[in-house]
Amino acid sequence: PYRVTVDGPRSTDALVRGVSVASMTIIDAICGDITESTFDAIVNAANSGLLGGGGVDGAIHRAAGPEFLAHCKELKKHYPEGFPVGAAAALPGCDLPATWVIQTVGPNRHAGQTDPADLAACFSRSLTEAARVGAKTIAFPAISAGVYGWAPAEVASVAVAAVRSSPDLEAFTHVRFVLFSDELAQIFTEALTD
Ligand code: ADP
């Protein structure tokens, strides 16, 4: 019920120049469980330790299985001081329907990480990383809107702006925000229709 479809920034070009509509990217928001997404890539709001936690991170680890945890341990070896806030790395989706999990770490407002640029980087770098591995469809959760304490409306507006301005957007046919409550889905829908 909260699904909304918004044309990407290139749609104006497409209309003006008569370019095929196949070059457009759909950006939408739905209420759902991201672990069930059949998109090529889903994004995980991980923590810097990379080995799982609560919220969406825990749900993804449970659904992706032990092989996924082994990939996380390998990735962790490259980041002995912790995976940086705003960075992104692609791992295999293992037992998930998604082919890839893009690990990113959102800023933790409770730890004084209040710069929206760090949150925007999670979205834009996840798109870059997903494009690098060949994903054409990608699903995002509301990064930092849970335990990390950011206001959902701010996450939604930062997320939508970051996705719309991404230089990698044209690699994707569909970018979707998968939100865990109707209320959150409504907030993202409003940000998309602003
Ligand atoms: P963070 O630590 O980055 O704040 P959380 O996992 O605590 O991450 O919360 C991020 C968002 O993910 C919250 O809105 C939470 O409700 C949501 N969430 C939790 N589980 C799922 C899931 N299975 N699918 C989609 N979103 C989820």
Confidence of residue 2 (pLDDT cuts 50, 70, 90): very low
Residue 12 has pLDDT above 70, yes or no: no
Tokens (6 digits) for 56: 């969406």
- Per-residue pLDDT reduced to its tens digit, 43-64: 999 999 999 999 999 999 999 9
pLDDT value at position 194? 82
Nearest 5 degrees, angle CA 154-CA 160-CA 161? 90
Closest approach atom of ligand 1 to CA 149:
4
Task: Find out whether 41 and 133 touch, Cβ atoms under 8 Å.
Answer: yes
Residue 11 has pLDDT above 90, yes or no: no
pLDDT value at position 88? 98
Tokens (6 digits) for 77: 């070896």
For tokens 């329907």, the residue is 97
The catalytically annotated residue of 57, 95, 115, 168 is 57
Tell me how far the alpha carbon of residue 173 lies from the centroid of ligand 1, in angstroms.
24
Task: Find out whether 178 and 37 touch, Cβ atoms under 8 Å.
Answer: yes
Question: What is this structure's pTM?
Answer: 0.91
Tell me how far the alpha carbon of residue 56 lies from the centroid of ligand 1, in angstroms.
4
Q: Is the ipTM of this complex over 0.85?
A: yes
Pocket of ligand 1 contains residue 33 by CB under 6 Å: yes
pLDDT value at position 109? 98
Sign of the torsion angle spanned by Cα atoms 148, 56, 116, 161: negative
Tokens (6 digits) for 97: 């329907």
Per-residue pLDDT, averaged over 6-17, amounts to 48
Counting beta carbons within 10 angstroms of the beta carbon of residue 42, is it exposed (0 to 12), middle (13 to 18) or buried (19 or more)?
Answer: buried
- Per-residue pLDDT reduced to its tens digit, 74-104: 999 999 999 999 999 999 999 999 999 999 9
Residue 13 has pLDDT above 70, yes or no: no
- Asked which of 12-26, 32-46, 48-62, 152-166 is least confident by mean pLDDT, the reply is 12-26
Closest approach atom of ligand 1 to CA 184:
14
Beta bridge partner(s), residue 179: 31
Task: Find out whether 117 and 21 touch, Cβ atoms under 8 Å.
Answer: no
Tell me how far the alpha carbon of residue 123 lies from the centroid of ligand 1, in angstroms.
15
Helix (H) or strand (E) holding 194: none
Sign of the torsion angle spanned by Cα atoms 139, 143, 146, 151: negative
Per-residue pLDDT, averaged over 131-146, amounts to 98
Per-residue pLDDT, averaged over 168-180, amounts to 97
Counting beta carbons within 10 angstroms of the beta carbon of residue 163, is it exposed (0 to 12), middle (13 to 18) or buried (19 or more)?
Answer: buried
**Which residue owns the Cα nearest ligand 1 atom 21?**
56
Per-residue pLDDT, averaged over 163-180, amounts to 97
- The answer to whether 28 is a known catalytic residue is no
Is beta strand 41-46 parallel, antiparallel or unpaired with respect to 100-105? parallel
Tell me how far the alpha carbon of residue 89 lies from the centroid of ligand 1, in angstroms.
18
Q: From the CA atom positions of the chain, what is the Rg in Å? A: 16
